[in-house]
Structure 1
Amino acid sequence: MKAEDFVSMIGSGFYTGVPDSQLKALCNYLEADCRKGSRRHIIAANEGNCTALAAGYHLATGKVPVVYMQNSGEGNAINPVASLLNDKVYGIPCIFVIGWRGEPGVHDEPQHRYQGEVTLKLLEDMDISYFVVSRETDSAELEIVMEKFRKALSCGKQAAFVVKKDALTYDGKVMYKNDNQMTREQIIRYVTETAGEEPVISTTGKASRELFEIREQKNQSHKYDFLTVGSMGHCSSIVMGAAISRPELRFWCIDGDGAVLMHMGALAVIGEAAPSNLVHVVINNGAHETVGGMPTAARKIRLSEVARACGYPYAVCVDSEEELKLELAKAKEHRGLRMIEVLCAIGAREDLGRPTVSAQENKNNFMSFLESCKTQREETA
């Protein structure tokens, strides 16, 4: 089904969400349509944020909003769905459009498998009616479903469309680009060269995929890296938990702008604790590039300034290789919590692969490496 037909049949004037590769056609159409002023479209920080925005829209207009997300975002939305939207509380109607990653029987990455298994059950537990949209779904079928949904929505209930892979299409072209010069892969290469044999923890998406391939290209061990393939927005918190537990080691965090925005409160927690052995590198291309390139709010702000306001004693933004190398060298030489925000171009190699080790193997190798560092320290003490 064409994304424009899908949107037309839903009939809402307000869309907000977190982009998803499964919903790329919908996101691209909404971006193009929004520029024409046909309806309001807001790309939010996280799925709970989307749900609250939708509630505000309904309170102000009495109309039904639409919230879209990858199914991994259901967890972020559960609190406002249960304690705000539910008809036992305020009874605020809302339509959810959910990309079904990890659909049972369809091959997907490890971080999506369990989420895919429980996607529909979570909706049932939240008392949300749902309909699964596939490539075979046509307009007549969708209209019948919408009639059923409208009755539920009129009673302050919520409804959801769970979208399978390739169920929605869009033929229009939307270009996502910026004027930055450095590529993410270049930036990560410089970070690993500086980090040497110190532990690195990377955020979900292409950053972790590129880190893995850089190690492969250099014939280096993957034991130094923990690849956070899921739980978007929590990489920096994982690093902080590790850093305060092993103060004798320096930890390098490779983060992304969309991930930082998703749970930005973590900056305040890190800034307050100020672990002196944490280097927080935030690659800011102003885009949710891993799922298609849709823009983030970070394209208009400086995350390094936010970090400074949150208590980071040192935070800087760089946009050239020379500046990046200089700041990485400073981080290597001196102790102290610091953020290095790096302005980055949008784009990646078309032949970019995926990690060939399992998540469990990655965890075990990383933990063994950290334990070996502890053993070496004890032996030399």
Structure 2
Amino acid sequence: MNVEKIVELIGSDFYAGVPDSQLKPFCDYLMNNYGIDPAHHIIGANEGSCVALAAGYHLATGKIPVVYMQNSGEGNIINPVASLLSDKVYAIPVVFIIGWRGEPGIHDEPQHIYQGEVTIKLLEDMDIATFIITKETTEEEVKSAMEFFYIELSKGKSVAFVVRKGSITYDANTEYSNKNKMIREEIIRHIVRFTGNDPIISTTGKASRELFEIRTENGQSHKYDFLTVGSMGHSSSIALGVALHKPTTKVWCIDGDGAVLMHMGTLAVIGSNKPKNMVHIVINNGAHETVGGMPTVAGDIDFVGIAKSCGYHYATCVDRIEDLDTALKVVKEKEELSLIEVKCSLGARANLGRPTNTAIENKRNFMKHLSDY
């Protein structure tokens, strides 16, 4: 179904969300029509904050907002839905648009499988009425769903459109880019040269996929790496947990700007604990690239200044390979909590593959490697 018709039938003029590949036509529509506009469209740090932002919009205007996200974000919205939006609390109505990754019967990556199984159940448990959009869904069916939804929304309840794979379309093309020169895969290649046998915890998305392929290309074991294929925003906390309990082992975290933003309070927790054996590398392309390229706010903030304020002993920003190598050499030898922000371009190989071992195999091999220290 065409996105423009869905938007017309919903009738909202404010959208907040976290991008999703399954919703790319919808996300592209928002960027082409609104861009990032505080009056109409904001890309939030995480799905829960988008719910709160939408609540603020409703309080200020009395109108109904839309929050969009991948179904993996349901966990982030449970608290504000239950303790803020609920008709048993403030009765704030929101329309959710949710991309259904891991839908039962549809092949998907391991991190989406269980989430896909419980997607509808979680919405039901939160008392959110649901309508599933499929490739066969008609305009009349969405119109009918909205007529029912308006009744629910008038009671202060929230509702959700759950979008199956390939079910929405948008005719216009949207291009995303930045002015950075370094390519992420090359950045990770250089990181691997310096880490040796040290463990790496890598963030969700293309960074982990590229790390896996680099190891294969180098003829190296995958035991050195924990690929955080899901759980966006938590790889640095995983790395902190490893670093604190393997204090004589240098632990590296390859992170992304969108992931850091999603749970940014973690920087303060890491800085407060000050693990001297942890290196935090933030590859910053200012975009949610893995799910389509929509922008983050990371181009406007100072990760180095934030890290130092949070207690990181050493923090630097680089935008050239030569400077990256210098910084990697410094942190490899330094016995202090360190951060390197690496400015990165958008884009990845069209033939980029995915890890060929299972998540359980990854965990077991990584734990066995850690046990050797």
Question: TM-score interval w.r.t. the shorter chain?
Answer: over 0.9
Check the 8 A contact 2:36/2:43 in 1, yes or no. no
2:166 is the counterpart of 1:166: yes
Shift of 1:39: 6.5
User: Which residue of the partner structure matches residue 50 of structure 2?
Assistant: 50
User: Which residue of the partner structure matches residue 339 of structure 2?
Assistant: 339
Structure 2, unaligned runs of 5 or more: none
Counterpart AA for 1:297: V
Counterpart AA for 2:121: K
Counterpart AA for 1:120: I
2:184 is the counterpart of 1:184: yes
Check the 8 A contact 1:302/1:317 in 2, yes or no. no
Provide closer, same or farther for how the CA distance between residues 11 and 299 of structure 1 changes in structure 2, counting only shifts above 3 A: same
Provide closer, same or farther for how the CA distance between residues 38 and 238 of structure 1 changes in structure 2, counting only shifts above 3 A: closer
Structure 1, unaligned runs of 5 or more: 374-381
1:31, 1:198 → 2: CA distance?
41
Check the 8 A contact 2:24/2:292 in 1, yes or no. yes
Provide closer, same or farther for how the CA distance between residues 334 and 55 of structure 1 changes in structure 2, counting only shifts above 3 A: same
2:358, 2:156 → 1: CA distance?
43
Superposed CA deviations along residues 198-223 of structure 1, whole A, max 9, x for unmatched, are: 10110000000000000011110000
The within-5 A match list for 1:295-306 is: 295-306=295-306
1:365, 1:159 → 2: CA distance?
43
User: Which residue of the partner structure matches residue 155 of structure 1?
Assistant: 155
Counterpart AA for 1:332: K
1:164, 1:200 → 2: CA distance?
34
Counterpart AA for 1:366: F
Partner SS state of residue 372, structure 2: helix
Check the 8 A contact 1:33/1:39 in 2, yes or no. no
2:357 is the counterpart of 1:357: yes
Partner SS state of residue 111, structure 1: helix
Moved over 2 A (4+): 35-39
TM-score in terms of structure 2 length: 0.99
Check the 8 A contact 2:103/2:116 in 1, yes or no. yes
User: Which residue of the partner structure matches residue 202 of structure 2?
Assistant: 202
1:38, 1:251 → 2: CA distance?
39
Check the 8 A contact 2:44/2:50 in 1, yes or no. yes
User: Which residue of the partner structure matches residue 115 of structure 2?
Assistant: 115
1:314, 1:354 → 2: CA distance?
33
Check the 8 A contact 2:9/2:143 in 1, yes or no. yes
Shift of 1:305: 1.5
Percent identity for Structure 1 against Structure 2:
63
Shift of 1:302: 2.0
Shift of 1:37: 7.1
The aligned length equals: 373
2:288, 2:242 → 1: CA distance?
27
2:100, 2:174 → 1: CA distance?
23
Shift of 1:310: 1.0
Counterpart AA for 1:217: E
Counterpart AA for 1:156: G
Counterpart AA for 2:76: N
2:54 is the counterpart of 1:60: no
RMSD value over aligned CA atoms?
1.1
Provide closer, same or farther for how the CA distance between residues 133 and 271 of structure 1 changes in structure 2, counting only shifts above 3 A: same
Counterpart AA for 1:235: S
2:132 is the counterpart of 1:132: yes
2:169, 2:72 → 1: CA distance?
21
Check the 8 A contact 1:94/1:153 in 2, yes or no. yes
Shift of 1:38: 12
2:159, 2:276 → 1: CA distance?
47
User: Which residue of the partner structure matches residue 41 of structure 1?
Assistant: 41
Larger mean Cα displacement after TM superposition, 319-328 or 39-48: 39-48
Shift of 1:35: 4.0
Shift of 1:173: 1.3
The within-5 A match list for 1:1-381 is: 1-35=1-35, 40-373=40-373
